[in-house]
Structure 1
């Protein structure tokens, strides 16, 4: 029984390493350039073992998207511990700025993947990537709604478009300072939005 439990734990850990490796490698290299061997090497797993957990590269792409979704859930759960919705939004932007070097090299993990998948003929995985971005939009809209601001969905779209745009430009120009400068604009924009009635901006 103990050996069986250990084997299941080892298998679970190996699958987890492969999933995390897929998220990293696909972000850095893109779907078309990435091979199963690349992911196996990053996960320190024999390439033959990959097929035990994932039959195709598309299954690994789905696993990577699930990893991005889980990371987003962890991030927003941490942000939700802040009392003020505006502070949550600003902390999100500050987190984006902190990732400026990565963004300048590879772009937004989910955004770049969504763009690449959208160009494929089958049109199935791009919808999964869009689902992750939708989760971020929905979370941001809830914060704007908590601030009692009009058009919270549109404000969320403005915020996330700002992030995607500055990630794209930072990557295109290989210039992390784009993230710093445009992130500062987003922070100033968030500060400029009206405070909820009955509260002060300070």
Structure 2
């Protein structure tokens, strides 16, 4: 077996573990999740986890990186849309499409940020950067709409999403997300 094939397999296993960590941490939370849970979800023998990640915190950090990569991919796709209003509304639609998952587990990144904030290991700062990247992107969209209050509008949009995610999860009512998505679309239209 050549070195490049070995690297690809190793890289694939590491990526599977990071993706599994993101999923399992979302579903169970950091404190309730074990390395064995993540290994099982990634279909990797638990002993192999330690080859890629020495500690649970390293796996949590990999999950945060997976969230960041997913966000970058999503925002890159949204950037292909013609207008900032289209991009913002497509972001909302993506959130609404995930309403069943949100009703069951909450916002993947927001829930993780809330949980990590209670710890003193610095991972809270890493997940905050993911949310900051989303706010920065939304700020650029509102700026492209000619809004001088672009930062405030971006924070309001992300805060509205985080709030409705919490309520959707708390009450296990996916339609709360749908209704808020429609309201936020009207709000975006009113700002143009």
TM-score (norm 2): 0.98
SS in 2 for 1:149: coil
Aligned twin of 1:126:
124
Give the aligned length: 192
Q: Following superposition, which runs of at least 4 residues in structure 1 exceed 2 angstroms of deviation?
A: 2-5
Q: Which runs of 5+ in 2 are unaligned?
A: none
CA distance in 1, matches of 2:47, 2:121: 28
Aligned twin of 1:17:
16
CA distance in 1, matches of 2:88, 2:96: 13
Aligned twin of 2:37:
38
* Post-superposition offset of 1:35: 0.3
CA distance in 1, matches of 2:29, 2:46: 19
* Post-superposition offset of 1:115: 0.3
Q: Give the counterpart of 1:151 among 139, 145, 149.
A: 149
CA distance in 2, matches of 1:99, 1:6: 36
* Post-superposition offset of 1:44: 0.3
Matched, 1:54 2:64: no
Aligned twin of 2:186:
188
The C-alpha deviation readout for 1:102-151, integer Å capped at 9, x for no partner, is 0001111110000001111x141111110000000000000000011121
CA distance in 2, matches of 1:81, 1:6: 34
TM alignment of 1:140-179, pairs within 5 A:
140-179=138-177
Superposition RMSD in Å: 0.8
Aligned twin of 1:100:
99
SS in 2 for 1:31: coil
CA distance in 2, matches of 1:138, 1:8: 34
CA distance in 1, matches of 2:176, 2:2: 53
* Post-superposition offset of 1:34: 0.3
CA distance in 1, matches of 2:147, 2:10: 48
CA distance in 2, matches of 1:123, 1:19: 19
Task: Flag the structure with larger Rg.
Answer: 1
TM-score (norm 1): 0.93
